[in-house]
């Protein structure tokens, strides 16, 4: 049994908010894999099914974000799963740009209260987590107001792409392991942003090449100028030698 938990806050009020990335990815997985997440167990909406030949339990804790661990710890203990290999948690991340993904095998909660509570109540930070970027809080904003807020149209589009990719990453993790999911989806960014990043990378590469070429030409010009000076100096010496010899001869004759 693999528990796949998406974090969020229950209720219409919180639907579509930045803090509900986990819930939305679970909804995508449920639809994609034909799993109904409608059973209430251990303070969570759950749904069991099969993904890539493995039995899974999709979970949406109903305890509100800051107490996510209350529900998950009960489920982990009930099903006797090993968090290190049989627990995947999906959450939002304000440290990532909207639409970016970060996948880790383990680690700290990074200031995320839902992850913090899970670590505290399960007694382990050794579980896989997939984090969906929602963007940094603007200066002067209250953090709670920000994560409970909604996306603008462009950001919403980016996040939709990332959530679809996150669902695919979960399937890959179940089928091939978290390392494969990390290799395939870590750093994911929406198509528009990926194209922008590609163009910026090419522009930087072109600028580096331009600078290298300028430096090469400057070195060649310096080398050529030095060679010209040396040639001029050598020519001056060649002209001066006969004059010196002639002068010495005239002095001897005198």
Catalytic option among 19, 109, 112, 150: 19
Task: Note if 109 is an active site residue.
Answer: no
Can you tell me whether residue 179 is helix, strand or coil? helix
| 8 and 22 Cβ atoms separated by less than 8 Å | yes
201: Cα separation from own chain's centroid: 16
Place of tokens 């020519």: 235
Per DSSP, helices labelled H in 34-109 are 68-79, 83-86
Tokens representing residue 123 in the block: 């007694």
Q: Smallest Cα–Cα separation from 92: which of 53, 121, 133, 128?
A: 133
Proportion of the chain in helix, strand, coil states, percent, rounded to 5 = 60, 15, 25
193: Cα separation from own chain's centroid: 12
Tell me how far CA of residue 184 lies from CA of 88, 157, 168, 207, in angstroms. 16, 21, 10, 30
Active site residues: 19
């Amino acid at each position: 049994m693999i528990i796949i938990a998406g974090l969020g806050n229950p209720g219409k009020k919180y639907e579509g908010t930045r803090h509900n990335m986990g819930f939305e990815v679970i909804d995508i997985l449920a639809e994609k894999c034909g799993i109904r997440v409608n059973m209430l167990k251990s303070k969570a909406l759950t749904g069991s099914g099969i993904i890539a030949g493995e039995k899974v339990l999709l979970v949406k804790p109903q305890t509100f974000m800051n107490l996510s661990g209350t529900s998950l710890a009960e489920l982990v203990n009930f099903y006797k799963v090993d968090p290190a290999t049989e627990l995947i948690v999906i959450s939002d991340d304000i440290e990532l740009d909207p639409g970016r993904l970060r996948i880790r095998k383990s680690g700290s909660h990074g200031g995320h209260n839902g992850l913090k509570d899970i670590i505290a109540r399960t007694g382990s930070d050794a579980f896989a987590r997939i984090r969906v970027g929602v963007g940094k809080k603007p200066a002067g904003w209250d953090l709670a107001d920000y994560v409970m807020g909604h996306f603008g149209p462009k950001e919403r589009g980016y996040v939709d792409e990332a959530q679809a990719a996150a669902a695919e990453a979960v399937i890959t993790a179940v089928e091939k392991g978290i390392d494969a999911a990390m290799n395939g989806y870590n750093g994911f960014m929406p198509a528009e942003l990926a194209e922008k990043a590609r163009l910026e990378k090419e522009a930087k590469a072109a600028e580096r090449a331009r600078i290298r070429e300028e430096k090469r030409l400057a070195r060649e010009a310096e080398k050529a100028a030095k060679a010209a000076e040396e040639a001029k100096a050598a020519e001056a010496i060649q002209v001066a030698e006969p004059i010196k010899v002639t002068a010495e001869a005239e002095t001897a004759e005198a």
